[in-house]
Structure 1
Amino acid sequence: MSWLKPCRATGIGSLPHQSEPEALAVIAKAMPHWPHWPQLPGKMPEQGFVVQYVQPLLSLGVLKAAALKDPVFPRLEDGWEEKAAEFYERYLAFMNGDSGAEQVFALAGEAFAGLDAFIKNFAYYFPQAEGVKGHVSGPLTVGLQIKDERGRACFYDDTLREILVRCLIVEAVLEARKLKTLGLPVLIFIDDPVLFLIGTSTHITLTREVATDALNTIIRALKAEGVKVGVHACAGIDWSILFDLPLDVISFDAYHYFTGMALKAQGLAGFLAQGGKLAWGLIPTSEEAWQETPASIQERFEEQCRELAGRGVDVALLRQNIIWTPSCGTGALPIDLAEHIYGLLAGVVAKV
């Protein structure tokens, strides 16, 4: 039996609300079977995409960020190498099972208030839950935002990239372990939208091999925890990049970037045949959502299915292996629009 029943929904992560109870209520109404915990970047800058999962590096002084903006690896400062060595010591101790080493990596405080509220209030909000969904920021997207002492993206530096990836591994593993305490299957998305830059003329030194190796390192660490793993990319990437990784779910913006996925129909068919699932982001996370209804979204989906069938995809198999989602997170949107998007999602799931 599949770990995911048909006609289920989940979210990408962020919401624009200012309180956890409000966000949890929205999630509970739209996705009662596979809820996600809420990130509220508008309430707490610590929950911003770039800084949320590098809190250990900030606390150790390996990274610096004024007001949690524009993080930098300050390698020219006195004592930086010692701080980096301390990070590695704690990382290795954690990976070797030293529970005392978890303190610096703990998912706590304002950065993870949404996760704490989700777990503490889970039984109240989600009595029908069949699984839970988490998320971690992706190494390429974060690594192109955080700079070195010269203002260069840290992802291009082998040493700094290694530090970043190791930090993301520990945070992802700790999140998986926290969510597993709920006693349900766990799915974690690695959110890495700038994968679309691979192969572009503006980033000719960004290689597919280095980017996918960073992703795969985190995927393997999560798989070792016994959880399902997906990658979310809300732009038009070369989907073969993800088809070649050991993923359970590929999450994509099916509203704006379906054509790119359709052009990779052979790879999609192979991914489905091997048990892969698609997070079908057909609810637009933009003003366009105001023009849509559950019926119009369903009509668009049927058109997509006809096109994929014409390209050799087993549409019956596809329908059995979809989890419905918004096309991206909603944290930067007005509250009424975000709630409309979640309402559309619930309406679509009720119709399909």
Structure 2
Amino acid sequence: MGWFTPHRATGLGSLPHQDELTALRVIAKAMPHWPHWPQLPAKMPAQGFVVQYVQPLIKLGVLTEIPLKDPVFARLDAGWESKAVMFFNNYLAFVNGDAGAEDVFALTGEAFAGLEAFINNFTHLFPAAEGVKGHVSGPLTVGLQIKDERGRACFYDETLRDLLVKCLAVEAVLEARRLKALGKPVLIFIDDPALFLIGASTHITLTKEMASAALLTVIEALHGEGVKVGVHSCAGIDWSILFALPVDIISFDAYHYFTGMALQAEGLAAYLERGGAMAWGLVPTSEEAWQETPETILSRFAGQCSELAGRGVDINMLRQKIIWTPSCGTGALPIDLAEHIYQLMEGVVRRLSALDNR
């Protein structure tokens, strides 16, 4: 038996609702064993993918918020260097165990209203929980969105990338600590869909080594807290990047990008043999979900298993090492579609459990 029971489901994070309790009830019904806390970007811009986990940099003025745009590292502004030094000093204080430094990095305010609601309502909404799932925005994706004063992606600047990665790592650690206080095993996904850009002709200076090193910093910080770590990418990427990292679970869009994973079946098989697990995103987070039922999803999965078996993957092992998810977050979808997707998740795991109990 692995660290989670087979036939469980969790979510990627975002939902389109305007109310935390409503979102939590949707999660509780579909994912009672491994619930996630909800991000509601449609309600609160501070919960958007790019800005949510860089709040400390914004608070200190290292990142300058521009209305209707992503924040920028405005290094030409007066006093920017002293603000950056202040961030690094707070980071070092945090790493050295200074409790006072946590105030700068605290997961508070509108950006983390969903986390607060999840914790406050956990006992009565999730009595069957076997573990809890959190999430943090990935360094590559955020680093390509946030620009410097020249409009260049900050990920390409070593100093700015260091600021960003350290900020994300501390935020992830604090999230892990808050979730651990619930008394359940904790799993945190690093959501980094921009990994698909590695090797693209549009990003020729972006290297696998840069992206892997940034991810590794966050992974190691979370492992230092004793939690399980996943990496999610909802695009077709070179999966060898993640197979080579010490991640406990790899999350992918198995609905649209299964072929790419199948082509790397040898790496997948070796990853599973080493103890890795998979988050199988086979419920599409698009209008295509209206055409699906739990039965069609499971039929598609059976076909995928047949293909992987033909490529040398131990399917019995794979089935024991899957946690089910939607293919991506649902925060940008209509509410009725998002709830349908979560209902599909519930139906899939219920049918799988029934098959095992025959």
Aligned to 1:51: 51
Amino acid aligned to 2:160: L
Aligned residues of 1:240 and 1:267 also touching (Cα < 8 A): yes
Any idea what the Cα deviations from partners look like across 1:240-273, whole Å, max 9, x if unmatched?
A: 0000000000000000000000000001001111
> Does 2:184 correspond to 1:184?
yes
Aligned to 1:119: 119
Aligned to 1:31: 31
Q: CA deviation at 1:69?
A: 2.7
Question: Tell me, what secondary structure is at the counterpart of 1:65?
Answer: coil
Question: Tell me, what secondary structure is at the counterpart of 2:65?
Answer: strand
Any idea what the Cα deviations from partners look like across 1:7-40, whole Å, max 9, x if unmatched?
A: 0000000000000000000000000000000000
- Aligned partners of 2:68 and 2:192: how far apart in 1? 20
Aligned to 1:138: 138
1:310-325 pair list within 5 angstroms: 310-325=310-325
Aligned to 2:342: 342
1:93-242 pair list within 5 angstroms: 93-242=93-242
Aligned residues of 2:140 and 2:155 also touching (Cα < 8 A): yes
Question: Tell me, what secondary structure is at the counterpart of 1:305?
Answer: helix
Q: CA deviation at 1:210?
A: 0.6
Aligned to 1:289: 289
- Aligned partners of 1:122 and 1:294: how far apart in 2? 27
Any idea what the Cα deviations from partners look like across 1:281-328, whole Å, max 9, x if unmatched?
A: 000000000000000000000000000000000000000000000000
Aligned to 2:302: 302
The TM-score, its normalising length taken from structure 1, stands at 0.99
Any idea what the Cα deviations from partners look like across 1:167-223, whole Å, max 9, x if unmatched?
A: 001100000000000000000000000100001111000000011000001000000
Amino acid aligned to 1:188: I
1:13-92 pair list within 5 angstroms: 13-67=13-67, 69-92=69-92
Question: Tell me, what secondary structure is at the counterpart of 1:7?
Answer: coil
Question: Tell me, what secondary structure is at the counterpart of 2:306?
Answer: helix
Question: Tell me, what secondary structure is at the counterpart of 2:77?
Answer: coil
- Aligned partners of 1:89 and 1:67: how far apart in 2? 28
Q: CA deviation at 1:66?
A: 2.2
The TM-score, its normalising length taken from structure 2, stands at 0.98
Amino acid aligned to 2:7: C
- Aligned partners of 2:182 and 2:116: how far apart in 1? 12
What is the total number of aligned residue pairs between the two structures?
A: 352
Aligned residues of 2:66 and 2:72 also touching (Cα < 8 A): no
Q: Give unmatched runs, 5+ long, in structure 1.
A: none
Any idea what the Cα deviations from partners look like across 1:15-73, whole Å, max 9, x if unmatched?
A: 00000000000000000000000000000000000000000000100001123632100
- Aligned partners of 1:144 and 1:65: how far apart in 2? 16
- Aligned partners of 1:134 and 1:153: how far apart in 2? 26
Question: Tell me, what secondary structure is at the counterpart of 1:69?
Answer: coil
Question: Tell me, what secondary structure is at the counterpart of 2:94?
Answer: helix
- Aligned partners of 2:104 and 2:67: how far apart in 1? 20
Give the 3 Å change call, closer, same or farther, for CA 244–236 of structure 1 in structure 2.
Answer: same
> Does 2:271 correspond to 1:271?
yes
- Aligned partners of 1:44 and 1:235: how far apart in 2? 26
Amino acid aligned to 1:334: P
- Aligned partners of 1:27 and 1:272: how far apart in 2? 28
RMSD: 0.6
Give the 3 Å change call, closer, same or farther, for CA 131–283 of structure 1 in structure 2.
Answer: same
Deviates further, 217-226 or 66-75: 66-75
Question: Tell me, what secondary structure is at the counterpart of 1:317?
Answer: helix
Aligned residues of 1:46 and 1:68 also touching (Cα < 8 A): no
Amino acid aligned to 1:40: L
Question: Tell me, what secondary structure is at the counterpart of 1:32?
Answer: coil
Aligned residues of 1:272 and 1:318 also touching (Cα < 8 A): yes
Any idea what the Cα deviations from partners look like across 1:215-238, whole Å, max 9, x if unmatched?
A: 001000000000000000000000
